[in-house]
Amino acid sequence: MGCPWKMSSLILTFFAFSFLNSRLPVARAQANSTASLVEYYFVVKNTTFTKFCENRTVLTVNDMYPGPEIRVKKGQSILVNVQNDAAYGVTIHWHGVKQPRNPWSDGPENITQCLIQPGKNFTQEVIFSDEIGTVWWHAHSDWTRATVHGAIVVEPPDDEIPDSPFKFPNHTLVFSTWFNQDLKEISDIIALNGTNTADAAGYTLNGFPGDQVTCDNVSEPTYNITVKRGETYVLHIVNAAMHEGQYFGIKNHTLTVVARDGAYVKPFATDYVLLAPGQTMDVTFVADQNQSQYYMRFRYFDDSGVTTNTQNTTGYLIYSDATENVTNTDFPYLPNATDNTTAFKFTKRLRSLYSRSNTELPRGDVKRIVLDVQVDHLNCTGSSDCPSTGRQAASLNRISFAYPTNHSILEAYYYNISGVYNTSYLIYPDEELEAATYAYQGTNVIMLDYGDPVELVFQAIDVTPAGGHPLHLHGFSFFQVGMNNGTFDNSTDPDSYNLDDPPEMNTAVVFGSGWTAVRFFANNPGVWFFHCHFESHVSWGMATALIVKDGPNSDQKLKPPPAGMPSCGA
């Protein structure tokens, strides 16, 4: 396609030139003497912080919260040596990185690898392809991603920089959930009986709770960024929250959205942006005000009606060359936290930067897979603490995913080990199961032939509360071709699809009582996890895996496993 930013001179009017750069601490890299790849070192260990009025010891990478930021060039590959100095096993996932033919380093626990056990290490090869802008990394075992996560910024090649929005000075903003509870204990309780005991103490921006939080009547510190009047800046934003969608805005400053989930979008101006858990966004803004500082603000969005922490998470945009010695204490306007209509309209504004070809976007006949997405219950009759409604669960087509234990699904697939997973997935909702009282558990996967043109339709059917779900697919980006309220009509709704410039993403939202349709070609062989990015929902079983078979050519086949793959239970 060439450099997409040369396709329209109108697009370039959104931007101006600059060269400054500001960012979170970046992971320290060393050249690997045995390979041309750059190697990073991640040490997972306990670190103590004081936040939200309490001292807590949590898992971190390199003693950092958020963890170290990684910067790479588009198409680059890196090695990350993960050393586990924690008391229990962990894995690391590279969220939004497609890892072509290389699910061995994708990271989800017991899907593509077993846990990296205490005292052990595993070197993961992270293969970037066409990602651009912001993606991220996080733990993918238990609930450890709450504190084990960090941003990845994928910069354009040198010859594309003059025409790219990523040429501007930049800052990274990572929004996170903080718990004053033991995260391993939360995860173990959910695994035992389906009870979610998690209660967020609050939220942080780059590790700072912000001045809306007080301890002993003293405001917590804020994360601040400094700008110079007249310059244009880029913000790389990650919503690493465990359950909370977030609006974001800056008082008196207009944002221009330029990328989402590691892919360019048609730029559009807005007073605020919305990110679901797991999503990333790149925006530009012009520092065109006079006063000395302005609030940056995150405010939660939740269409489920479930009680959640309502903290406003704040930081400051501070002018280094202010012409007035004034402190602006007004918040930027952000929509109501339960305003489903506004959230839906914002999401519909996203469009791919350029029209998609037939080789990128499936058209015509597709393999349509309709998934009922539901918070559900499992029958736990006979258990002493079993409620009359059954234990809490979540499901896709009433199948609550059961995570394997003795082998990863990828290991079982590659070595033809039987009894680990079931290939008889229901690719359309089943009327008998829909009418049943309980979901059922199964390690059911969806089998795809290489090159299959796939359409996934997500149908939210939760009755009370009717909440939405951010649904993330590993190993791929997909194109969101349609979304609407109500029940998907297989005959008429595809007529409304956008098959010209649908936005590319790796995490799509289906709003409460609505549907969302995405398309992609199954051209990445291997085992790829698919799940809700609400942590409790994936713990409860709102997940499955896609197995894409090898293609006929050598460059269409799954890579062999690397040395040092972790073993289950070892």
Residue 395 and residue 425: Cα distance in Å, rounded? 13
In which order are the strands placed within the sheet that holds 399-401?
A: 440-442, 399-401, 391-396, 367-378, 453-460, 514-521, 478-485, 504-505
Residue 526 and residue 118: Cα distance in Å, rounded? 27
* Residue 269 CA from chain centroid, whole number: 23
Residue 277 and residue 298: Cα distance in Å, rounded? 13
Extract the tokens encoding 157: 């090649």
Q: What is the DSSP letter of 413?
A: H
- 96: three-class secondary structure by DSSP: coil
What is the reported pLDDT for 178? 97
Specify the amino acid at residue 551: G
Is the CB of residue 19 less than 8 Å from the CB of residue 58? Answer: no
Q: What is the DSSP letter of 272?
A: -
Residue 297 and residue 306: Cα distance in Å, rounded? 22
Residue 552 and residue 450: Cα distance in Å, rounded? 9
Distances (CA, A) of 119 to 29, 42, 43, 115: 21, 13, 10, 12
- Residue owning tokens 């009282």: 437
Per DSSP, helices labelled H in 440-486 are none
Distances (CA, A) of 24 to 65, 70, 71, 189, 207: 11, 10, 11, 34, 11
CB atoms closer than 10 angstroms to residue 377:
20
Extract the tokens encoding 297: 């603000």
What is the reported pLDDT for 442? 96
Cα end-to-end span (Å), the chain: 47
Element (H, E) at 340: helix 340-348
Is the CB of residue 153 less than 8 Å from the CB of residue 236? Answer: yes
Q: What is the pLDDT along the chain (570 residues), one digit of tens a residue?
A: 444 444 333 333 333 333 333 345 555 444 343 447 899 999 999 999 999 999 999 999 999 999 999 999 999 999 999 999 999 999 999 999 999 999 999 999 999 999 999 999 999 999 999 999 999 999 999 999 999 999 999 999 999 999 999 999 999 999 999 999 999 999 988 887 788 778 899 999 999 999 999 998 899 999 999 999 999 999 999 999 999 999 999 999 999 999 999 999 999 999 999 999 999 999 999 999 988 899 999 999 987 766 677 889 999 999 998 777 777 789 999 999 888 899 999 999 999 999 999 999 999 999 999 999 999 899 987 776 777 778 889 999 999 999 999 999 999 999 999 999 999 998 888 888 888 889 999 999 999 999 999 999 999 987 555 578 999 999 999 999 999 999 999 999 999 999 999 999 999 999 988 999 999 999 999 999 999 999 999 999 999 999 999 999 999 999 999 999 999 864
Residue 318 and residue 309: Cα distance in Å, rounded? 27
313 DSSP β-pair partners: 298
- Name every residue whose Cβ is closer than 8 Å to that of residue 383 and which is 6 or more positions away in sequence: 193, 391
* Residue 452 CA from chain centroid, whole number: 25
Extract the tokens encoding 333: 């306007």
What is the reported pLDDT for 431? 85
Is the CB of residue 460 less than 8 Å from the CB of residue 395? Answer: no
